Structure 1
Amino acid sequence: MSFERKFTKGVAWMSAGGWVEQAINFAILAVLARLLGVETFGILAMAAALVLLVEFLVRESVSEILLTQDTLSPQRLNSVFWLLVAFGAGLAGLLFIASNPIATFYGEAQVAPLIVALSPTVPMIALAAVPVALLRREMRFRALALRAVCGVIAGGVVGIGMALSGFGVWSLAGQRVTQVGVNAIMAWAAVSWRPGLSVSFTHIGEVLHFGHRIIGLRAAELVAVQMPSVIIGATLGPIQAGLFSIAWRAVEIASFLVTTPLRMVAHPALSQVMRDGANATALLLDIMRITGLVAFPAFAGLALLSEPALTVLFGQKWAAAAPVLSILSVFGLYLCIEKVQQTYCLAAGRVGILALLAWCEVGLSITLIYLTVPFGLPAVTAGFVVAFLVLWPLRFRNLAAIANLKAGTLMRLHIAPFFLAAIMAAGVYLVSHQLAETSGLIVLVTGTLSGLVLFAGLAFFFLRDRLEVLRSFIRQKVPASKPRYTTLLETRGEKDSN
């Protein structure tokens, strides 16, 4: 199988699995939102903020080195595994210790036992991190997709069952622990490797040298996206935290559907191209073209249709989250593009500057959030988003330096989809305005379909190069011995402006 076909097949499996997973997740979230209410989600958001941060530190940190190394010896794998086990156990212990002070900070006693109940997910993720990294390195995305779907189904069954039985907020904790547990079991079932006791201090040193930078990056990213929930919960109360939580969850799911499958495949693919000495920059540009083609119209549409989307999916009581969702849609667009850019830096092992920029975003976002608290939840959300947009050009410059490109070349890739998405947004607004007196479902379905048709027509006339990239991935049958990305930039020339 050629590299292009392997890449396309991986994206297809991750897309199918991700879309099925998130469709099920949406349905489960809608049921739980109707059963449990706004305040329950707000309390969970307070408890889960630190837990999710710790989970992410374990999930996408030290094990990332397994995607960049040329060879994987048993000692290297063992070293990574046992470091992660120790790291996960230590972080779970810190969650237990910090649970009461965090509950005191919020003024919500129920937060402490919730943190304790959620903390087992951390060592579960640590135990499964190496098997997941091996599946990603080998581009076995079918197994990863099936694992994700089974996990969300199992978690949903437990969560809804507990909610119907009157467990309240504990049903959300049960859902999460079950989902992570099933994911871990299925990851181990999909690989033949098993850990041993032979480790190498040389390998441990290499892992720690790489790991402290990426842990710094992941910590900054998680603090940045979880801090709004913490500050909102502490200053504006659980109801406002619940509204922000549901809007953030909608954006998170949308970004997952739009680009996570592509990003998850891109990282090992870029690493493989770099290991083979082929043209990883060309692959980066193609991935960015595809990302812009999908992300701009998706989040423009979500911003305009936020209110009918929330009321149809979660009920009328969540309509107050619509302004927050519209503003967060801008952050969703940023997140999709930035995460894809980040994969190139990770594949190249160049994460130091990224970590520094991420912590600068943390400082600026916290400052702007506190300054905007007196003006209400939409203002807080806007302050949070602005912090990332202000520093975004520096991320473009960092990526350009690593990829040996000009920052302007990377930025110009997004000009055309931006303007076409703006035209599409205007059309969707006119359609939804004409249907304002009808039901939310009609507005949502009609607005979505009209946006899809309008943007597809615009893309056919103005973004044919991107459509050609998609077509080339699907149909490419170049032998694996002749990598497509060895000479792609030379044959394409300087067509980076679109």
Structure 2
Amino acid sequence: MSLIDKTIRGIAWSTAGKIFAQVFGFVLSIVLARLLVPEDYGLWGMIVVIVNFITLFGELGFGAALIQRKEIDERHLSSVFWLNVVVGVVLAALLALSAPAIAEFYEQPLLVDLTRIVALNFLVAPLNMVQRAIFNREMWFKQLAVVDSVKVVIAGCVAVGMALTGWGVWSLVGQSVTITVVSAIALWFASDWRPSFTFDRHALGDLLGFSANLFGFKTINYWARQVDDVLIGKVMGASALGVYTLAYSTMMVPLKEVTHVLSGVMFPALSKIQDDPARVKGIYLRAISMIALITFPMMLLLWASADVFILTVYGEKWAGAISILEIYCFVGLYQSIGTSVGWLYKSQGRTDLMFKYGLVASILIIVSILIGVYIGTVEAVAISYAIMTGGVLIYPQFMIPGKLVGMRFREVIGAVASIFGCAALAAAAIWGLGTQLPETWPAWAQFVTQAVSGILLYLGIIHTLKIAAYVELRDFIREQLAKKRGKTDDIDRGDADKDEGAQ
């Protein structure tokens, strides 16, 4: 199978799996938001900040290194596996021992037991990292889609069951641990690879240059993205952190559904053509235009109907998240394409440059968050973050990796400008529509009216103006459907020939 065919099939399976997981996860989040209270999410957010950071140490960037390196053998795979197992045990012990200090920092005694149970994740998670890297490297995304769908469903059922029986924040902990355990078991059943009793430090050395810089970038980038949760939880309390986390996670939905889906496919695909920068550039620009085609209207239409969306989906107790979500819709707009620059750094093997940029950018982001916390409101934190990431950093974010493949910033703007204009026009129209709808209508009726009108209007605009990304996507879908019909016709003709021959 050619690289193009593998990429297309990979995107199709990744998209199908991710759509299922995200739709199920979104429905699950609605159910849990109605069963739980903001304080539950705030407590969970306090744990997640620490746990996600420690998770970075469990992988150490070796998974991506296994995908990017042109040649690997059993020495690399088994050495990475055993290193991850040892690191996982150490991290689980450290997190369990740190639980009292975490609880004392936030002044929440319940965090001691919550943290120690979550620490179990680090004993299990390393067991499937190499298998997942192998599946990504070989672009076997069908198996990954099945595994990820299964784990989400089982973990979701566990979380809802616990929430219904009054377990509160423990239902979120149960969901986390279940996802880790089910993922490990499923990937071991799906994979034929098993570790040998081999540990070769020279094999690890082959991967270390790439992985060390990637790990360094992920570490500093993580704290730049999470310091707001830490400070809000410490200074403003669990309830404020709960509504802030809900708004932020809602903004992240398009990134998870679109950008992150493509990331799993585009990184290994671009790594295979890393010696042809011009080709990498062309594919990258087409990819971000496709991302923008979907995420730009999602973010802008959500901004235009944020109030009725929150009231409809989560209920009045989450009304405090409306203003934060409105701000973060604009953050999600440019982050949906901005996070894709990692494909360029990693596929070109320049994680060293990625680390250097990340260090400077993270310092500036942390400063902006400190300013927001000093002002004293969650809205101020969101605004400061938006100004820094969307106003100050957006140009170097694209330009520095762009130089690796000869890409200019104006080419990035050119790839998404017309799409932004269409999405903005549709958003402005439904915002105006929202001001004219009767106030006596329930929130759900207003939201459905705005959402349906906005989607239809946006589709009408891009179809009428024949936006390039839309036309390319439409023609591609038609071509794939035609190929599928052609294969079906060939099978039918073959069956008919067999029947005729039998007669």
- Fold shared, TM-score > 0.5 on shorter chain: yes
**1:244 partner amino acid:** Y
Aligned to 2:194: 194
**Within 5 Å, which residues of 2 pair with 1:328-477?**
328-373=328-373, 374-389=375-390, 390-435=392-437, 437=439, 438-462=441-465, 464-471=467-474, 473-474=476-477, 475=480
Residue deviations 1:165-189, cap 9 Å, x none?
2222111101110012111211121
Do the aligned partners of residues 61 and 477 (structure 1) sit closer, same or farther apart at CA in structure 2, a change above 3 Å counting? farther
Q: 1:24 to 1:96 in 2, by over 3 A?
A: same
Query: What's 2:489 paired with?
Result: none
Bigger RCO (CA 8 Å, 6+ sep): 1
Residues 1:436 and 1:68: Cα distance change in structure 2 (over 3 Å) = farther
The whole-number CA distance in structure 1 between the counterparts of 2:466 and 2:112 is 52
Q: How far apart, CA to CA, are the structure 1 residues paired with 2:315 and 2:481?
A: 45
Q: What are structure 2's unaligned runs of at least 5 residues?
A: 484-503
Aligned partner of 2:411: which letter? T
Give 1:51-70 correspondences, 5 Å limit. Answer: 51-58=51-58, 61-70=61-70
Cα separation, partners in 2 of 1:130 and 1:11, compared to 1, 3 Å: same
Deviation at 1:393, TM superposition (A): 1.0
Between the aligned partners of 1:298 and 1:391, the Cα distance in structure 2 is 23
Q: Secondary structure at the match of 1:413?
A: helix
Match of 1:322 in 2: 322
What is the CA-CA distance between 1:315 and the residue it aligns to?
Answer: 1.5
3-state SS of paired residue (2:340): helix
Counterpart in 1 of 2:486? none
For residue 498 of structure 2, what is the aligned residue in structure 1? none
Matches within 5 A, 1:305-316: 305-316=305-316
Deviation of 1:137 after TM superposition, in Å, equals 1.3
Structure 1 residue runs of 5 or longer lacking an equivalent are: 479-498
State how far apart, in whole Å, the 2-side matches of 1:278 and 1:135 are. Answer: 27
Alignment of 1:26-105 (within 5 A): 26-58=26-58, 61-105=61-105
Contact 1:297–1:455 (8 Å) recurs in 2: yes
CA contact (8 A) 2:59 2:84 kept: no
For the residues of structure 1 that align with 2:60 and 2:8, how far apart are their CA atoms?
A: 23
Q: Is this contact kept in 2: 1:286–1:469, CA < 8 A?
A: no
The aligned runs of 1:147-296 (5 Å cut-off) are 147-274=147-274, 279-296=279-296
Q: Deviations over 1:285-304 (max 9, x none)?
A: 21122112112111111222
Q: Is the 8 A contact 1:59 1:125 kept in 2?
A: no
Letter in 2 for 1:185: I
Q: How does 1:117-132 map to 2 (within 5 A)?
A: 117-132=117-132
Shift of residue 360, structure 1, vs aligned partner: 2.6
Match of residue 492 from structure 1:
none
1:115 CA displacement: 1.6
Deviation at 1:434, TM superposition (A): 2.0
SS at match of 1:359: helix
The equivalences for 1:10-29 within 5 A come to 10-29=10-29
* TM-fit CA distance, 1:16: 1.5
CA distance in 1, matches of 2:277, 2:346: 16
Of stretches 367-376 and 444-453 in structure 1, the one that deviates more from structure 2 is 367-376
Which amino acid letter does the alignment assign opposite residue 408 of structure 2? K
How many angstroms apart in 1 are the aligned matches of 2:140 and 2:47? 34
Question: How many residues are aligned here?
Answer: 478
**CA 1:436–1:8: 2 relative to 1, 3 Å:** farther
Alpha-carbon shift at residue 60 of structure 1 (Å): 7.7
Question: What SS does structure 2 have at the residue aligned with 1:221?
Answer: helix
Q: Which moved more, 1:163-172 or 1:226-235?
A: 163-172
Check the 8 A contact 1:361/1:387 in 2, yes or no. Answer: no
Percentage identity across paired residues of the two chains: 29
Equivalence for 1:490: none
Question: What TM-score, normalized by structure 2, do the two folds share?
Answer: 0.90
SS of match in other structure, 1:72: coil
Deviates most, 465-474 or 74-83: 465-474
With over 3 angstroms needed to count, the CA separation of the structure-2 counterparts of 1:336 and 1:434, relative to structure 1, is same
One-letter amino acid matched to 2:77: L
Partner in structure 2 of residue 482 of structure 1: none
- The structural deviation recorded for 1:253 is 2.4
- Secondary structure at 2:361 match in 1: helix
**Which of the two has higher C-alpha Rg?**
2
Contact 1:274 1:280 in 2 (8 A): yes
Cα distance in 1 for residues equivalent to 2:78 and 2:178? 27
**Cα distance in 2 between the residues matched to 1:281 and 1:472:** 22
Q: Any idea what SS the aligned residue of 1:447 has?
A: helix
Aligned-partner residue type, residue 131 of structure 2? P
- Name the amino acid aligned to 2:462: A
Which consecutive segments of 4 or more residues in structure 1 shift more than 6 A? 275-278
Distance 1:447 1:61, change over 3 A: farther
- Quick check: 1:50–1:226 contact (8 Å CA) kept in 2? no
State the Cα distance separating 1:63 from its structure 2 match.
Answer: 0.7
